[in-house]
Amino acid sequence: MSEAVRSRLTVTDHSRTSAGLLYIYPVVSRRAGGVSVGINLNTNNACNWRCIYCQVPDLVKGAPAPIDMDQLRRELLGFLEEVIHGDFLTTRVPAGARRLNDIALSGNGEPTSAKEFGEVINLIGEARDLAKVPERVKTVLITNGSLMHRVNVQRGVKQLARLNGEIWFKIDRATDSGIRVINNARVSMSRVREHLAAAARLCPTWIQTCLFALDGQGPDDRERQAYLDFVRECLRDGIALRGVLLYGLARQSFQPEASRLTPLPPEALESFAQHIRALGLDVKVTP
Ligand code: SF4
């Protein structure tokens, strides 16, 4: 492990290079009271979407460069060994957060766009076994869900479920036009629904939603209603959702729209959460 790893991590350090590794970065979460081992496959900052709140600096359109699987294996296994059997937690992590919570595929772009996605999931399984990662530790895929129709992605996601897996599936707006504005993506809601259904069929799935004001305005009544209708219809049609992770604007956007975005008051998030809960879904709010 490099010199960069010797300084103590903080709950605000979400840098992808905080461990001095290419693919692996630790994040300390005060809310979750533990450490997440992040895997960043998109080391070139390339994503197939461009969300206006995205925190990736120098984001470009595209997919990751070929993954060096040997390096990823070395880094992941070495890091997990440090966390589980070494002194990483005691020397690097503040008291109160000294436990491993999850391993998360969450990088500087869409992880499922890596050609090696399926192999990466297998590699995580091997590393979990070799490092004797406790079963309670989750393996989380944070995704915009747009490539969930691909056979290799579905295969990977099915395998993910065996690793105490969870999918956090990004749905920020539930109209085609809303997705275009917020995520700069041309995808229809019927397609989103198909992808969400495929994800939930293969692996426990949460919807992940970021709510904020754009030019001083939060999502209007039409957008809010469309979202609630979408969730209601998913539930009616038997899509087995675990719940909704509702986020505010916690960190700074690195996109050109950054100055137009402001957080919503926590009460606004809570009020929207209540409407979702009324549909029968669990909602976790992070203002
Ligand atoms: S999907 Fe994620 S990485 Fe891609 S632009 Fe949106 S927030 Fe950024």
Atom of ligand 1 nearest to the CA of 47: 4
- Our mutation pick for probing the ligand 1 site, out of 41, 140, 144, 195, counting the most ligand atoms within 8 A of Cβ, is 144
Phi, psi values for residue 233, rounded to 5°: -65, -35
Atom of ligand 1 nearest to the CA of 170: 1
Phi, psi values for residue 46, rounded to 5°: -105, 130
Angstrom distances, CA of residue 90 to CA of 12, 78, 93: 18, 17, 6
Confidence of residue 5 (pLDDT cuts 50, 70, 90): very low
Query: What is the percent of the chain with per-residue pLDDT over 70, rounded to a whole number?
Result: 93
CA of 11 to the centre of ligand 1 (A): 21
How many other β-carbons are positioned within 10 Å of the β-carbon of residue 204?
17
CA of 84 to the centre of ligand 1 (A): 30
pTM of the model: 0.94
Helix (H, G, I), strand (E, B) or coil at 283: strand
- Taking only Cα atoms into account, the Rg of the chain, rounded to an integer number of angstroms, comes to 18
Mean pLDDT lowest for which of 5-19, 56-70, 127-141? Answer: 5-19
Q: Would you say the CB of residue 54 lies under 6 angstroms from ligand 1?
A: yes
pLDDT digits (tens, 9 = 90+) for 181-236: 999 999 999 999 999 999 999 999 999 999 999 999 999 999 999 999 999 999 99
Q: Return d(Cα 190, Cα 196) in angstroms, integer.
A: 10
Nearest CA to ligand 1 atom 6: 51
Cβ pair 269, 246 in contact under 8 A: yes
As given in the structure block, the two tokens for residue 197 are: 């259904």
